[in-house]
Every structure is written in structure tokens, then in C-alpha cells.
Amino acid sequence: MARKKTPSAKPHPVEWALGVASGLLVAILIAIVGYEAATNSRSPPDFVVSRLAPTDAIPKGQVRFKITNIADTTAAAVLVRGEWRRPDGITETAETTLDYVPANSSGEGALIFSADPAAGDLSVRAAGYADP
């Protein structure tokens, strides 16, 4: 007659090691989330807009730009406006909306004018955003 194995009352050392490792991992994750919540400033988005160098592939009248959000807060529906003061004194405005610009990230887009804005004074800036 074969003997039946009886389960050991003590857990195996591997079970203890995995339990301790899992507990430490959970504690570390809770500490990281708590630290982020305590130190993350909810400052509003802060944009830096720069024009990209024109290339032959870009049609005349198009101005490419890069917008960078240097804050820790994401912005939605970011409105970028360009104003071109032509040599004849007329001001032309072009606008575009980017769906979102994540925190500490950047996006690119283009403004389209009726003619090449190389002549005259062109300014490109962020004109507004919405909280996501």
C-alpha cells in the first residue's frame, strides 16, 4: 500500500520570496504615486512656438511651426495664430487648432496664407487652449 503525501504546513521558501517581492513592488508603486501627487504642480500649460525653416517641398504661403509645452500640464484644443503684416500694410491672419499638446512635449503644424509671407513681418503664437 502506497503512502499518501501529506501537505507541508510550512510554505515553501520560494512562496515567501515572491510574497515579499510583490509586497515591496506594491509599496514602491504607492510611494511613487504619492510622491507625484504631492510634488506635481498644477501649473497651466506654457507654450513656446517657433517657426520651422522653409523647404522646397512646402508650398508657397505655408508656414510650418513647432509648439512646445514646457509645463507639467496637458493642453487640449490649442489655438495657434499667425499674423502677417504685408509690405503694403495689410495684415493677414491664419489660425489652426491642434487637438492636444501633451505636458513636456511638442507638436507641429502649418499656417496657410494667401501668398508667401517671406516679405513682411510674421508673428506666430499660441492664442488659447482648453483644459482636457
- Assigned CATH for 47-130: 2.60.40
From first to last of the 132 residues of the chain, give the pLDDT tens digit.
566 666 667 888 899 999 999 999 999 999 999 988 787 777 899 999 999 988 777 788 899 999 999 998 899 999 999 999 988 888 999 999 999 999 999 999 999 999 888 888 999 999 999 998
Q: Show me where the domains of the chain are located.
A: 11-40, 47-130
Alpha carbon distances (Å) from 80 to 32, 34, 125 = 35, 35, 6
C-alpha–C-alpha distance, residues 123 and 119, integer Å: 12
- Alpha carbons within 13 angstroms on the beta-carbon side of residue 8 total 5
